[in-house]
Amino acid sequence: MRQSITRGLYSVVCLLACAAGAAEPATPDDRPVKPNIVFILIDDMGWPDVACYGHKFHETPQIDRLCAQGMKFTDFYAATPVCSSTRATIQSGQYAARVGITDFIPGHWRPMEKLIVPPIENALPPAIRTPGDALKAAGYATGYFGKWHLGPEATAGPDVRGYDVTARTIGREFQAWRKTKEAGPKRIDLLTDQTLWFIEQNKHRPFFVTLSHHAVHIRLEATPAAIEKYRNKPKPAEGVNHPVYAAMIEDLDRSVGRIVTRLDELGLTRRTLLVFTSDNGGLRKIYTGVGETVSTNAPLRDEKGTIYEGGIRVPMIVRLPGRIAPGTVCHEPTTTADLLPTFCEAAGAKLPDQPIDGTSLMPLLSDPDARLARDAIYFHYPHYHHSRPAGAIRAGDLKLIEFFDGTPLELYNLKDDIAETTNLAEQEPAEARRLQKQLAVWRATVGARMPTPNPKYDPARAAEWWNRRTNKPLDIKAMAEHYRSRK
């Protein structure tokens, strides 16, 4: 009710502002052109990592400002709990199970476990058309800067998947403009500068640019001043509150602020759709279990590499002045597979000629209380990581998790139990069976690859991690040292 009144008042204000300014000369903001799209993708940022989602230690004034100016999605999901597979859903508009990339590339290997995990594609399939392809065909300048992780960049990188300007193609003019500045921890400064350069060069035409950060993925790195600030800052009684992790969050926040400020300076804010999200839930500790604890997703359960809420529910903020009323909140379950159709509808671009599992979110931007025309969203992660091979379905407030090793079903009511503490499967067996059947039908529809029984299963050695490239056990201590925070 309150949001509906707010939207109504906002619409009246916008109409009055337009009427009052009708006699003014046209400005870059007022030209009736296709909206620019700026997509900021963070690596491993958890749902509660930013202040506007409830973190009490991290300081994110720029992201919070973006949230106040736009729409906050409370129930947005990375379609998988790891990077490559989620990124495949963004680039295809399909669930990862349909694409064939269901794990990070090249994936994990536990050769003595109960199940043999299915193979994955090691690059985005050539037939897939990306948002870059679709928007380029619609007349957009397209750019992509940062992490790709969908195949070798020399042969299968973004510059051959519809993105004209990338780190490989940006050219000498950018280098001359940037001079000898440092890349910064996790290359945050470099990637931000590349994106700013692209926006500047294409300010007179519609553009679509992705800024895909390597942060906050371990190993943790941040600017020394920010680290010192959080070392000296009093910590809340609850949470992990790691000073280097907090500093890296602040470094990212500063990057977002630089992008937003430049759009303001160029007069592009009112005709730019800006989307901010993460590729999977936050990491608590490296999957080997050795090393430091870097964060927590509380109140959500668990972490990256699991299909509990902590592994898949992520922050998403969307701003589009004139379409999105400031400070609105959307609770509709949505997913990264929805981004491609959203970008296409916003740009007036034709959807790629391929199966599209996602649904455009544009109706929600005008009315956050709207409902999308689908019964459920699905998750398929048939791999060992921080948990066991599993699938899940969310239908309304209910979420069913099915582990593929034969352990009992888990059913949760997320409206009442966001932390997934109370398994309702035994109390509501008919509901659990119905959702399990619906999940199985979906898997068959998309051709999901499934794990198979392992004839070499050895319970005593099941927890061993092996390197797929060397065919040898991982050096756990060396990995812990490699991923140790750089303080």
Contact in structure between 309 and 63 (CB atoms under 8 Å): no
The residues of the chain scoring below 50 in pLDDT are 1-32
Instruction: Give the C-alpha separation, 188 to 252, whole Å.
Output: 7
Q: How many of the other CB atoms lie within 10 Å of CB of 10?
A: 16
Residue 257 belongs to a domain:
yes
CATH of the domain at 219: 3.40.720.10
The answer as to whether 380 is a domain residue is: no
Residue 402 host element (H or E)? strand 398-403
Helices (H) and strands (E) in the chain — how many of each?
15, 18
Does residue 180 sit within a domain? yes
Q: Identify whether 449 is part of a domain.
A: no
Residue 424 in any domain: the answer is no
DSSP string, 120-187: --SS--TT---HHHHHHHTT-EEEEEE---SS-HHHHSGGGTT-SEETTTS-HHHHHHHTT----GGG
Question: 328-330 and 71-73: which strand pairing?
Answer: parallel
What is the CA 60 to chain-centroid distance, rounded? 18
Residue 487, pLDDT score: 63
What's the pLDDT at 481? 84
pLDDT given at position 355: 98
Radius of gyration of the chain (CA): 22
Domain boundaries, position 265 = 36-374+457-482
**DSSP-derived secondary structure letter, 487:** -
pLDDT number for residue 480:
84
Q: Identity (one letter) of the amino acid at 31? A: R
Q: Residue 477: what pLDDT?
A: 85
30 lies in some domain? no
448 in any annotated domain: no
3-state SS class at 341: helix
Contacts of 97 (CB under 8 A, 6+ apart): 378, 380, 443, 446, 447, 448, 449
Amino acid (one-letter) located at 155: T
The set of residues, in sequence order, having a beta carbon less than 8 Å from that of 27 and lying 6+ positions away, is 267
pLDDT score, position 163: 98
CA atoms of 48 and 60, how far apart (whole Å): 12
Number of domains the chain is built from: 1
Cis peptide before 256 (omega within 30 of 0): no
CA pair distance 396, 375, nearest whole angstrom: 8
